[in-house]
Structure 1
Amino acid sequence: MQYNAFRSEMDQVSRLGFGAMGLGGSFGTHDEKELIHSVLNCLEQGVNFIDTARAYGDSERILGKALKEWTGEKPFIASKVQSLGPGSIGWGTHIPVESAYPAGWLRQCTELSLETLGVDVIDLMQLHQYWPQWDQKDYWMEELLRLKEEGKIRYIGISIPDQRHDIALSIVQSGKIDAVQTVFNIFDPLPLDCLIPFCEEHNVAFLARCVMDEGGLAGFLTEHTQFADSDYRKTYFDYVPRRMYIERVERLLKFIPAYADNLAELALKFVLHHPAVTTALVSMHVPAYANQNIAALDKAPLPDEIFDELRKYHRWVRNFYDTKFWI
């Protein structure tokens, strides 16, 4: 396992992080004991960064059960405050911060997360929804800083709603946050243009999510793949004709096996190529896939020229979240 400093050398976090959205059933139903085992399996192999959220169904509760069984060194736990509002309100378009996080809600949500996880402190607490207009109000940051002073959280971060990476540039430069989480993958390398360099310059941790583009970049998708109504990906891949998505993925096969054993490994190598990417968050609730991803970190990195080729000629910037936020 490879490790990076999270803000300081005191906190060494694994470059591969356990994305815990799958623990809450977003990507299909799994037995709870199997999910607990999936967490322990990754911890045993050196994964020590786990990212969950209040909005991920039973994720925090199941993670809390796994942590009770874990006898090794405490992992770095990140969670997110659930924003208020029905459905997708505030995700596709800006809403006032008072609507998403009214006074007192950040504390209430954080204390509920602490109780559910069964821990005394959450290492990184993130806003699950963020808009730069909110920087004009101070109360929500002050509330997080008080939680930090009380020892209930250690670091403060934001999670960007979708692929609008530029909305985080001002707050990254402000020095007010410790981490930013956003979409970053082969199809969407835009954070490399500004956000990642800004994070590197200001010593802000960069957390990459959707590394596999909800699994699409791993090559599992076919024209006949079906998703349950409860599956987060139900409408995700049909933002464009599915054949178009599959053809884009098939273009990546030219790099297999010369530079990666499989597409998932290629996707992971691409995201981790830049040293300022602190952690790549991947759903690892299925041990077989998790083991494959963990093994990828021991493989040779992508040559610079292959990384550049992927970045320049395989980018496909589109917002698949539109099907959830606008339609």
Structure 2
Amino acid sequence: MQYNRFGRLGTQVSRLGFGAMGLGGSFGSYGDKELVRSVLHSLERGVNFIDTARNYGESERILGLALKEWTGDKPFVASKIQSKGPGNLGWGQPIPVESAYPEGWLRESAEISLRMLGVETIDLMQLHQYWPQWDRVDYWMDELLRLKEEGKIRGIGISLPDQRHDIALSLAQSGKIDSVQTVFHIFDPLALDCLVPICQENDVAVIARCILDEGGLTGFLRADTVFGEGDFRQAYFDYLPREIYIERVRKLQEAFVPRYADSVAELAIRFALQHPGITAAISSMHVTRYADENIAAASRGPLPDDVFEEIRRHYRWVRNYYETKYWA
């Protein structure tokens, strides 16, 4: 396992992180024992960066159970403040910060996270949604800074709502935050154009998420794939006819598998970890087999530079599948 310094916080974190959205049932239903085992298994394999959120159903509670059982070095735990806006309000388009995070709500949400996780300090607390219009208002940052002064959180970050990487540029340059979490994968490498270099210049950590594009870059998707009850991907891959997505993945397979990677999933993971400006890349590892496969892929090391550049330049296919969720 490779490790990186997490920006100005200085902690060494695994470059491959445990994305804990799957602990909350977003990708199917699993039992608590199975999910706890997936966390412990990943920690045993060297993963020490875990990203969860209040919005992820039972994720924090289950992660708390795993942390209670874990006897090794404390992992770096990141969570996110739950937006108070109902439904999808404020995710697809901006709403006032007073609606998303009214005064006092950041503390209330953080306190719930601390209880659920069973920890005294959360290493990184992120806003689960952020819009640059909010920078005109100070109270939300003041609340986070007070939590930091009290030792309840160590660092402050933001998670971008979707592929619009540019909305974080001014805050990344402000010196007020420690990290930015953003969508980043083979089909959408645009964060490398501006966001990642600016974060590097300002010692702001970058957390890459959706590195397998919600599983699409594993090659699992078929025309007749059916998603189970509660799986949020029920509409995700139907933004366009599925055949278009499947064909894009097939072209990747033909061009790079097995010459440079054993699978498209391995190719996607190694691509996500290639650039030094990506501090950590998170993937759902709520099933131990997924953890083993992802860790094995990461251990293969970087792709040849010319292959990475070819993928970055010629296989990008930027689209906002979240629009099916915001504006069905």
TM-score category (smaller protein): over 0.9
Mapping of residues 62-211 of structure 1, within 5 Å: 62-211=62-211
How far has the Cα of 1:56 moved from its partner? 0.2
What's the CA shift for 1:15? Answer: 0.1
Aligned AA (1:26) = S
Q: In the TM superposition, what is the alpha-carbon distance from 1:9 to its structure 2 partner?
A: 7.8
More deviation, 299-308/185-194? 299-308
- 1:295 paired with 2:284, answer no
Offset of 1:8 from its aligned partner? Answer: 4.3
On the 8 A contact 2:273/2:298 being kept in 1, the answer is: no
- Alpha-carbon deviations, 1:125-182, whole Å to 9, x = none? 0000000000000000000000000000000000000000000000001111000001
CA contact (8 A) 2:180 2:205 kept: yes
Q: After superposing the two structures, state which structure 1 stretch, 239-248 or 5-14, moved more.
A: 5-14
Q: Which residue of 1 aligns with 2:273?
A: 272
State the distance in 2 between where 1:10 and 1:317 align: 33
What's 2:219 paired with?
A: 219
SS in 1 for 2:50: strand
AA matched with 1:276: G
Note the 1:221-236 alignment, pairs <5 A: 221-236=221-236
Task: Encode CA deviations 1:30-79: one digit per residue, 9 max, x unaligned.
Answer: 11100000000000011000000000000000000000000000000000
Residue equivalent to 1:311:
312
Give yes or no for contact 2:9–2:155 (8 Å, CA) kept in 1.
Answer: no
Residue 24 of structure 2 is aligned to residue 36 of structure 1? no
Q: Which stretch has the larger CA shift, 114-123 or 251-260? A: 251-260
Aligned to 2:141, what secondary structure does the other structure show? helix
Q: Root-mean-square deviation (CA), in Å?
A: 0.8
Of 250-259 and 44-53, deviating more is 250-259
> Who is 1:250 aligned against?
250
Task: Return the alpha-carbon distance in structure 2 between the equivalents of residues 309 and 144 of structure 1.
Answer: 41
Question: What is the distance in 1 between the residues matched to 2:321 and 2:222?
Answer: 17
**CA distance in structure 2 between the aligned counterparts of 1:115 and 1:84, rounded to whole angstroms:** 19
Secondary structure of the equivalent of 2:232? coil
TM-score normalised to the size of structure 2?
A: 0.99
Q: Structure 1: which amino acid aligns with 2:285?
A: M
Going from structure 1 to structure 2, the CA distance change for 1:10 and 1:206 (only over 3 Å counts) comes to closer
Letter of the 1:294 counterpart: I
| C-alpha separation in 2, matches of 1:78 and 1:219 | 29
* Number of residue pairs matched by the alignment: 327
Which residue number in structure 2 is paired with residue 21 of structure 1?
A: 21
Q: What is the CA–CA distance in structure 2 between the aligned matches of 1:60 and 1:326, rounded to whole Å?
A: 29
The AA in structure 1 aligned to 2:326 is: F
Distance 1:111 1:131 in 2: 23
Q: What is the distance in 1 between the residues matched to 2:227 and 2:88?
A: 20
Where 1:77 maps in the other structure, the secondary structure is strand
Q: TM-score, normalised by structure 1?
A: 0.99
What is the DSSP-based 3-state SS (H/G/I as helix, E as strand, rest coil) of the residue aligned with 1:248? helix
1:219 alignment partner AA: G
Deviations 1:247-271 (A, max 9, x none): 0010101201111111111001111
**Aligned residue for 1:259?**
260
Q: What are the superposed Cα offsets for residues 68-113 of structure 1, whole Å, 9 maximum, x if unpaired?
A: 0000000000000000111100001100000000000000000110
Question: SS of 2:299's equivalent?
Answer: coil
Match of 1:2 in 2: 2
Letter in 2 for 1:102: P
Q: Shift in Å at residue 301 of structure 1? A: 1.4
Deviation of 1:289 (Å): 1.4
Amino acid at match of 2:259: A
Question: Which amino acid is the alignment partner of residue 317 of structure 2?
Answer: W
